[in-house]
Amino acid sequence: AGSQIQGTAGIPRRSRRRKSVAIAYEPGQGDGAEPRRARWEPRDWREQLERIREMRRSRDAPVDEMGVQKCYDSGAPPQVMRYQVLLALMLSSQTKDQVTSAAMLRLRRRGLTVDTVLQMDDETLGQIIYPVGFWRNKVKYIKQTTAILKQKYGGDIPSTVEELVQLPGVGPKMAHLAMHIAWDSVAGIAVDTHVHRISNRLKWVKKETKHPEETRVALEDWLPRDLWKEINWLLVGFGQQTCLPVNPRCSQCLNQDICPAAKRL
């Protein structure tokens, strides 16, 4: 989806302090660098991943048909599309894709832009987005974030994870997905409850993690970077259809014989 909107209007350049970047040397590189030990990686992960790809081949999970990448107006100007992506992500938190998609459609019928949302009173916005999860809080966050976008970013959305997570109601998962979808940029792995749960079930983390952010750090430590963008889409759909939160459908899973958490009958 992100590639559809990468022809973007320029954002006024903002001065940023240059950050120092630590350089990790490969074995044998650098001045007297010690050879690095082989990086930890999970057992059977390549085969597990390939089987998940096979199970997701039909692309018929709710995330495929009604996910955030399907919620924005692909005919709108790039800046408007990016704003709509961010709003869809904010609405999607603790909300089913079907409910988010319907709310976005109602918003878009009113002409979903920074200006139209700023002109909308809180009660009207609440009526439109209801019944998304925590809709009252989201009304407040949407209004606050939209005002910041208007004042600080000329109506566009920030183009870095660091700036995105500073916006009210925007967490790390949303920020990484916004980078993927809106900016066609891979800054990290977007970890939601599905990715968090499945990563722990498959033992794709060295030790059990309690929170999605811990899981993101653990995955980024070993998962090849060229897979970072794909992994969210794969695991979310897999989690919606097969590896369910309660009563996972292990008997229908191609990984049943190599999954540490599988129920084997």
Pick the catalytic residue from 173, 206, 210, 263.
Answer: 173
Query: Taking the CA of residue 171 as centre, how many other CA atoms within 13 Å lie in the half-sphere pointing to its CB?
Result: 16
173 has catalytic annotation: yes
SS3 149: helix
- Quickly list DSSP for 209-253: -SSHHHHHHHHHTTS-GGGHHHHHHHHHHHHHHTS-SSS--GGG-
CA distances from 182 to 34, 80, 179, 232, 237 (A): 40, 10, 6, 15, 20
Q: For residues 78 and 85, what is the distance between their CA atoms, to the nearest angstrom?
A: 11
> If phi over 0 gives left and psi between -120 and 50 gives alpha, with beta otherwise, what is residue 259?
beta
Catalogue the active-site residues: 173
